Amino acid sequence: MSAPEWFAANRANWDERVPIHLRSYDLTALRAGRGVLHPIEEGEFQVTPGERVLHLQCHFGADTLTLAQRGAVVTGVDFSPVAIAAARVLAMELGLTARFVEANVYEAPQVLPEPGGFDRVFVSWGALCWLPDTVGWAKVVSSYLRPGGQLYLIEGHPAALVFDDLAAGDDGMPGWFAPYFHSGPLVLDDERDYSDAAARLGNKRTYEWLHPIGEVVEALRVNGMAIEFLREHDGVPWRMFGQLVEAEGGMYRWPGKRWLPLSFSLSAVRA
Ligand SMILES: C[S@@+](CC[C@H](N)C(=O)[O-])C[C@H]1O[C@@H](n2cnc3c(N)ncnc32)[C@H](O)[C@@H]1O
């Protein structure tokens, strides 16, 4: 598989999701001037006014602009031109100063050549699975941080992502979907969208990757990043499995026994 194949397919898929998400995401608080992140990152990731924050894979910028509302000097990067255009319009509508840059994460240093130019890099929910190479990703992250700068990452847990409802058993519990140590892309044809049950995607083919926790930590370590904390959580902000129940703050959790971690968060500091 050539790189352009995964890139073109994934970008077409994300371009198509943007107008869907502009309708389905709840932007009420953001539009009222007080955007909120999900509860885990609200508790773990605080910005102070004037901090330079790079938001990688920013989608149409809702979280980026939430950080701007708190006084951060924000730059969002995404490979979807549709997402970047929507982010710029949203920033203008909200009267917020924010910079949005269209780039593949791996090529961002060429498009946005600002080594060491950020105090924090923010990466959240459903980002790493679109990237084939965690070492290359960590290199980009590390290159953008000043010494002592922080990466904050909050993601779906790979131990949960090996399961899927498509392989559900008679008890309704999600079944095995992919091996934890699967290498290479998972080539999926799924016309559904996670935030709008009625939406059907024409560009349904995607190339996704499962990255074990150890691989992510090691990728950061070899790129000069020291782990400050690594935490596992029992909530995730989308209905990862039909069995999950909606909880506070837009999170979904197991109804009874906490079978598996559903997400993890990590803070790493550049040496
Ligand atoms: C699930 S969304 C992340 C949501 C994000 N946390 C937010 O603030 O809304 C994944 C994003 O990754 C972007 N993306 C996927 N592959 C990428 C790549 N190689 N380079 C840059 N952006 C990419 C997509 O366009 C999409 O906006």
Q: Dig out the tokens for 172 from the structure.
A: 């309704």
Compute the distance between CA of residue 74 and CA of residue 112 in angstroms, rounded to an integer. 13
Compute the distance between CA of residue 98 and CA of residue 107 in angstroms, rounded to an integer. 20
Checking if the pLDDT of 2 tops 70, the result is no
Confidence (pLDDT) at 236: 98
Total structural domains within the chain:
1
Confidence of residue 3 (pLDDT cuts 50, 70, 90): low
Within the chain, what is the greatest distance between any pair of CA atoms? Answer: 53
Confidence (pLDDT) at 1: 46
Q: From atom 10 of ligand 1, which residue's Cα is the shortest distance away? A: 127
Confidence of residue 4 (pLDDT cuts 50, 70, 90): confident
pTM over 0.95: yes
Q: Rounded mean pLDDT of 231-239?
A: 97
Confidence (pLDDT) at 23: 97
Backbone angles phi, psi at 85, to 5 degrees: -65, -45
Q: Dig out the tokens for 264 from the structure.
A: 């993890």
> How are beta strands 263-270 and 225-233 bridged, if at all?
antiparallel
CATH number of the domain where residue 229 is located: 3.40.50.150
Judge if the beta carbon of residue 10 lies within 6 A of ligand 1.
yes
What is the 76 CA–ligand 1 centroid distance (Å)?
10
**Token pair 């890139």 is at which residue?**
7
Q: Give per-residue pLDDT as tens, 21-35.
A: 999 999 999 999 999
Q: Give per-residue pLDDT as tens, 111-157.
A: 999 999 999 999 999 999 999 999 999 999 999 999 999 999 999 99
Beta bridge partners of 145: 118
Angle subtended at Cα 155 by Cα 28 and Cα 224, rounded to the nearest 5 degrees: 125
Q: Residues 77, 83, 85, 90: is their CA dihedral positive or negative?
A: negative
Confidence of residue 168 (pLDDT cuts 50, 70, 90): very high
Q: Rounded mean pLDDT of 79-103?
A: 98
Q: What is the mean pLDDT of the chain?
A: 96
Compute the distance between CA of residue 172 and CA of residue 163 in angstroms, rounded to an integer. 12
Answer yes or no: are the C-beta atoms of 230 and 210 closer than 8 Å: no
The residue type of 266 is L
Q: Rounded mean pLDDT of 245-261?
A: 95
Judge if the beta carbon of residue 124 lies within 6 A of ligand 1.
yes
Residue-range definition of the domain harbouring residue 50: 3-270
What is the 127 CA–ligand 1 centroid distance (Å)?
5
Q: Give per-residue pLDDT as tens, 7-59.
A: 999 999 999 999 999 999 999 999 999 999 999 999 999 999 999 999 999 99
Judge if the beta carbon of residue 57 lies within 6 A of ligand 1.
yes
Ligand 1, closest atom to CA 14?
A: 25
**How many Cβ atoms sit within 10 Å of the Cβ of residue 250?**
13
Report DSSP letters for the chain, one per residue. --HHHHHHHHHHHHHHHHHHHHHHS--HHHHTT-----HHHHHH----TT-EEEEET-TTSHHHHHHHHTT-EEEEEES-HHHHHHHHHHHHHHT---EEEE--GGGHHHHS--TT-EEEEEEESS-GGG-S-HHHHHHHHHHHEEEEEEEEEEEE-HHHHTEEGGG--TTS--EE-S-TT--S-EEEE----SS-TT---SS-EEEE----HHHHHHHHHTTTEEEEEEEEESEESS-SSTT-EE-GGG-EE-SSS--S--EEEEEEEE-
Compute the distance between CA of residue 255 and CA of residue 60 in angstroms, rounded to an integer. 32
Q: Give per-residue pLDDT as tens, 176-211.
A: 999 999 999 999 999 999 999 999 999 999 999 999
Beta bridge partners of 73: 52
